[in-house]
Structure 1
């Protein structure tokens, strides 16, 4: 199992593979038990989540510079360090022994002593090392640049609580496919399957499951009775307030959580148009629609949302723009986001968002609603984008709706919804409904 974790982590480091996709690909073809699959997943995400801390420890204890250690041996050390410091399900001596064997395997016996010496040294110094890891920026396992970004926009205390939240385990939330079944039936079936089930925080059509559950092999999942989706993401469809007969455009639809949510509520065939930039993303959406039995309600197409097709002008009652963004609100689910973000990349995203938000708004009929949403908390991509739209389209105005009442936070003067992981215990989202005023 640790061998598989080493291979997955090496692919992620060397080839920028996405952890969720690499895990899916490798675990699908493996003969591992569900328990072992959960163990590999926990190791991979644990190492990614705490990589800054793990590398600090390796640098402290190794006489060899990190850039001189081979890729796979470095992953072995990270896995061993993670288990000794943060993973109490495995005794330290077992973690050391397993990693020593792996080290030998990857170096024809040469690195066994190096791995053994470093990890045993760590076991001896564990308390002192853990104390060091509580100092300054190290405690969050994020870069100074990222901490400073959040701190400058929200204050240091917020940044502290925000990044600490991402080191915690988060449950899996599922949305019940109400066109097929009910929450009660799914809950009862999952309990029969031996799965711990909890209630959602905000919506009566979702449930929370333990994060170690192997969902893909669950019978209710295969039958299309639910889809995995964070509750934070559900707010954007609530804010859209779709009703039967609406013509709806979902501009960035993959992997299809919000598209299928909309399709459940609009029963007419092909009244929903779902677009994304790449064919493989559209295929993923189609798979989800097929599994949930909603494919006849949605027309899917590969389309670049930064370009405008004149036939879309004034065409839709509702438009959902779940814009490409820096993803800072979902680091607890996708910890690799921490290592891929930069000011340059965030600024490039703002340019894309600007083109898309204007195109989305221009696709609305007068009286229609655009919901602009991101899974980031970066204000340039959120409030900045709403300001940009209001300045550039005189008929645009922010509209409060019933999604605010669900949150019971009507104090947001500007009409936008802001979800923060450390406060609401869901993924971080920004959601704003913007109405196109009727011609007066």
Structure 2
């Protein structure tokens, strides 16, 4: 039996996220580490927190259909309790509606006793009226419809509509409201993908090869992968498939000098080392010194010896690389993360359109600063995990205008196996609903003079 109510723990975590802008994964890990929630309740806690965050706008929309007060006008405690109750009643098949209502009302009697009757009435009315819930007309108000139906900020659904049209944007909105796939990358310095899959199978882990990355494996049940013996032996690291493709486009080779300018947490850094057969030099830089420690720990676990770490603001000149000219530079630029919002769903509610413009200024400054550190004939790969044009094509276009010594290379003839993932301009752009991986962008720039 659990010694702590998982629903109460989920409420406490959601409350902290609302008040402090804390990150869900850190709070969940901290709660589970106490070992006060056991068995299936551990999974329920995680499901409730991430589910409410992913479906927040839809949950509020449903509440608004059955409450005389608009959801944003309700007290925070009441709003969170209603979200928890509605999520269980509408989105969790394994929780009976009666249990969803009763457990939420019991929690309300403890946390918001004056509102317990109101919460009970709204939950029961919503259950009775679920077939009559109305959403905006997708033909008349497509952005509002996608925002309410699939729970995303309206400014973001409007952006997706402009990029994709309604049918594709709805498919993307659907995918972005679902849990993401869990993908790892085989450490080919120690083991091949097929051999690793056999090893995982013997350990009871169900898995399949990724469709695009030659070293990727999708786990059908993630669990605590860091506890697996294969992880401790340095046979793999966790990395989404889209992220695994960026180092392939960089094409680092044995003996190269490579700069990974925004390296943390190090997934691409270690993959570059694999592609270099652990021969050459990689300068892994990041503005956050604490995150560099994570890179060093990962390199040690994977047996990688060619990575040097430096604290550096990639948008400003640095003594760490002042005398070096690189064969390859990877700029995995700080971005809005719009392509990975299903992994960090709390973040989508914190972002604003103005953030994209501010980030694009930083992204351009990074490219400007690093351009001089690349050898003539060298390759710079600009990448983000954002779906926005402002942070991607627009930044590259501005850079190319200012730097005629660079040209954008069309990835399609260079990597015909990845041509279906490329845009008409030859940039890599993956979409979760089409490609089964995170939203990602990459442009390959060559210094020609």
Instruction: Work out whether residues 34 and 214 of structure 1, in 8 Å CA contact, stay in contact via their aligned partners in 2.
Output: no
Q: Deviations over 1:327-357 (max 9, x none)?
A: 2211222222321222211110011011101
Residue 45 in 1 paired to residue 22 in 2? no
Which residue is equivalent to 1:158? 168
Instruction: Work out whether residues 38 and 213 of structure 1, in 8 Å CA contact, stay in contact via their aligned partners in 2.
Output: no
Following superposition, the deviation at residue 409 of structure 1 comes to: 2.9
Q: Distance in 2 between matches of 1:261 and 1:219?
A: 20
Following superposition, the deviation at residue 90 of structure 1 comes to: 1.3
* Residues 357 and 267 of structure 1: CA distance in aligned 2, closer, same or farther (over 3 Å): same
Which residue is equivalent to 1:306? 315
Q: Distance in 1 between matches of 2:310 and 2:215?
A: 28
Instruction: Work out whether residues 53 and 133 of structure 1, in 8 Å CA contact, stay in contact via their aligned partners in 2.
Output: no
Which residue is equivalent to 1:360? 370
Task: Give SS of 1:170's match.
Answer: coil
Q: Distance in 2 between matches of 1:377 and 1:367?
A: 29
Which residue is equivalent to 2:236? 226
Q: Distance in 2 between matches of 1:395 and 1:289?
A: 35
* Residues 403 and 59 of structure 1: CA distance in aligned 2, closer, same or farther (over 3 Å): farther
* Residues 410 and 335 of structure 1: CA distance in aligned 2, closer, same or farther (over 3 Å): closer
Following superposition, the deviation at residue 14 of structure 1 comes to: 0.8
Following superposition, the deviation at residue 316 of structure 1 comes to: 0.9
Which residue is equivalent to 1:255? 265
Q: Deviations over 1:385-411 (max 9, x none)?
A: 221221111210122457732324387
* Residues 361 and 293 of structure 1: CA distance in aligned 2, closer, same or farther (over 3 Å): same
Following superposition, the deviation at residue 360 of structure 1 comes to: 2.3
How many matched pairs?
435
Instruction: Work out whether residues 151 and 159 of structure 1, in 8 Å CA contact, stay in contact via their aligned partners in 2.
Output: yes
Q: Deviations over 1:260-296 (max 9, x none)?
A: 11122234577111111112322332332233232x3
Q: Distance in 2 between matches of 1:178 and 1:134?
A: 51
Residue 74 in 1 paired to residue 85 in 2? no
Which residue is equivalent to 2:129? 125
Which residue is equivalent to 1:18? 23
Which residue is equivalent to 2:102? 97
Residue 434 in 1 paired to residue 445 in 2? yes
Matches within 5 A, 1:326-345: 326-345=336-355
Task: Give SS of 1:379's match.
Answer: coil
**Mean CA deviation greater in 95-104 or 240-249:** 95-104
Matches within 5 A, 1:173-322: 173-210=183-220, 213-268=223-278, 271-294=281-304, 296-309=305-318, 311-312=321-322, 315-322=325-332
Which residue is equivalent to 1:404? 415
* Structure 2 length-normalised TM: 0.89
Q: Distance in 2 between matches of 1:428 and 1:68?
A: 34
Residue 8 in 1 paired to residue 46 in 2? no
Following superposition, the deviation at residue 120 of structure 1 comes to: 2.0
Which residue is equivalent to 1:372? 382
**Mean CA deviation greater in 406-415 or 247-256:** 406-415
Two-structure CA RMSD over aligned residues (Å): 2.4
Following superposition, the deviation at residue 314 of structure 1 comes to: 5.7
Q: Distance in 2 between matches of 1:134 and 1:12?
A: 32
Q: List runs of 5+ in structure 2 lacking aligned partners.
A: 1-5, 139-144
Q: Distance in 2 between matches of 1:202 and 1:410?
A: 9
Q: Distance in 2 between matches of 1:258 and 1:34?
A: 35
